[in-house]
Amino acid sequence: MRVIVLGAGVVGVTTAFYLSRLGCDVMVVDQASEVGDGASFANAGQLSYTFTDALAKPEFLARIPGLILGRDQGVDVKLSPGLIAWGSRFVAQCTHGQAKANTIAMLKTAMRSAELLTELRERLPFDFWHREAGKLVILSTEGEVEAARANLDVKREHGCDAELLTRDQALAVEPALERMRGDIAGAVYSKSDEVADSQLFTAGLRDMLEADGSVEFRLSSRAQKLVKADGRLRGVVVDGDTLEADAFVVCMGAWSHELLRTVGINPNIFPVRGYSLTLPPGDAAPMVSVTALRHRMVYSRLNGLVRIAGFADFRGFDTSADKKRSELLLNLARGYAPDAAEYDADDPKPWGGFRPMTPSGQPHVGPTKIPGLFLNTGHGMLGWTLACATSHDAAQAVTSVH
C-alpha cells in the first residue's frame, strides 16, 4: 500500500514510522529542508502527559476583552476575519461540559502516548535527550489552587497520578523554586512527566527509517494542491508534479488548512505562535520541569541546557513581532527566575513556532469525508506529548480502510 505523509514534523515522521511498521510503502513530503523544522524544532521539550487542560473553558471568557486590549504580556492578539471565525467556535467550547470532555479526551490520548513512547524508546538506536524529570505547575493564588484541586479530582478518575502540593512540599521537590520571585500558593506535581528534544527525536527517526529503506523523504518540496478523481483522493501536486498514492495523511500542523481547502475541507486550525530561548544553566536552574502558570512560561532542562518557552500569540502567520517578543520573554524569565539561566549568554538561541490550535484543543485524527484522505493535525501546544498516540491511531486508520 502506497501512502504519502504530508508534513515532516514530529507528528508526520512518527506517522510514517507506524505506517512503515504496518507494511506500507511511505513517502514523506515537506517544504522544509530538514525534518522537525517547524513547531517541533525548539519547543519547550516537555512531555506533559498529565497537563492536558483545555484552553477553552468558562473562566477564559472573562479574560478575552483584556487579551484583545493587550493587557496580558503573554498573549498578543491581532484581530482578523480568520481569528474572529475561529474564535466564535472557540467560545462555543467554553462550557463546563465541553472543557471537561476535551480535557479528559486529551488526557487519555496523552497517557497512551506515554506508553507508546516508552515502548518505542527501547527500540530506538539513538538518543534524543529523554529524561524522567517530573513536572511542577506553579499556582500563584488560592483561587488557582482550588481550581487545580477540582481539576485533579476529575483527572484521577482516569488514572492521572498528579498531586496537589503545598508551597513547602513544592520546595522539597524542587529547591530552586526558593530563588524564583513569583508567589507560590501551591503546585501541581506529576512525577511521571518527562522531557525530551522533539527535533532530535524526529531527525533520529528519519535517519533510522531511511537506513532501513522503509520510508522515502522528499524535502524542500511544497505540497500545493490535493487532487480528487472518481470520488476519492488520488494525488497531491508537489512543485508542479502530481504524486499518486493509495492514501494521504495530512500532518502539516498550522499549514494544514491551506492544503485542505483545495478539496473543500476546513479543519478550523489557527496558528498560535510561541517562543523559546535555550541558555546555559544558572546557579539555581531547576531539574524538575517548571511551568509558571500565571506568567505563561516553562523551564526545562535539556541535555544540560535550560529551555525557556512561553507566550501564545494570535497574530496569524505574522512574524514581524518575533524580535520584540523574544526580548520580552528573556526579560520576564530573568525577572521571575533570575538564577535559573545565564541570561547574558552570547546567543540565547531565540526561536518562534506556530502551534496548530483547534477550538476544542483536540487534534483531528483519522479519515475525512473524502476516501483516501486522512488527518493527523491540530495538536496545539501538545504535539510532542500526543505524537506517538495520534500517529499510531492515524496509521491504524489508514490500514484498516484498505
Q: What is the mean pLDDT of residues 42-55?
A: 94
Residue 369 C-alpha from the chain's centroid: 26
Residue 402's pLDDT is 63
- The strand order across the sheet containing 247-250 reads 215-218, 25-29, 2-6, 247-250, 373-377, 364-367
- Look at the domain 2-401 and name its fold: FAD/NAD(P)-binding domain (3.50.50)
| Gap between the Cα atoms of 333 and 291, Å rounded | 11
Q: What is the mean pLDDT of residues 64-68?
A: 93
Percent of the chain with pLDDT over 90: 95
Residue 294's pLDDT is 83
| Gap between the Cα atoms of 277 and 135, Å rounded | 19
* Amino acid sitting at position 334: R
In terms of Cβ atoms closer than 10 Å to its own Cβ (0-12, 13-18, 19+), residue 22 is middle
| Gap between the Cα atoms of 194 and 350, Å rounded | 23
Residue 161's pLDDT is 87
Write the pLDDT tens digit of every residue in 197-228: 999 999 999 999 999 999 999 999 999 999 99
* The three cell numbers locating residue 209: 527509517
Please report which confidence band the pLDDT of residue 255 belongs to, taking 50, 70 and 90 as the band edges.
very high
Nearest-10 crossing angle of helices 96-121, 142-156: 70
* The three cell numbers locating residue 153: 479530582
Residue 73 has pLDDT above 90, yes or no: yes
Q: What is the mean pLDDT of residues 293-322?
A: 94
Residue 175's pLDDT is 97
Residue 103's pLDDT is 95
Secondary-structure breakdown of the chain: helix, strand, coil percentages, each rounded to the nearest 5: 35, 25, 35
Write the pLDDT tens digit of every residue in 74-119: 999 999 999 999 999 999 999 999 999 999 999 999 999 999 999 9
Residue 182's pLDDT is 85
Q: What is the 8-class DSSP label of residue 22?
A: T
CA-closest candidate to residue 356, choices 346, 347, 365: 365
Write the pLDDT tens digit of every residue in 314-336: 999 999 999 999 999 999 999 99
Residue 295 has pLDDT above 90, yes or no: no
Write the pLDDT tens digit of every residue in 161-174: 899 999 999 999 99
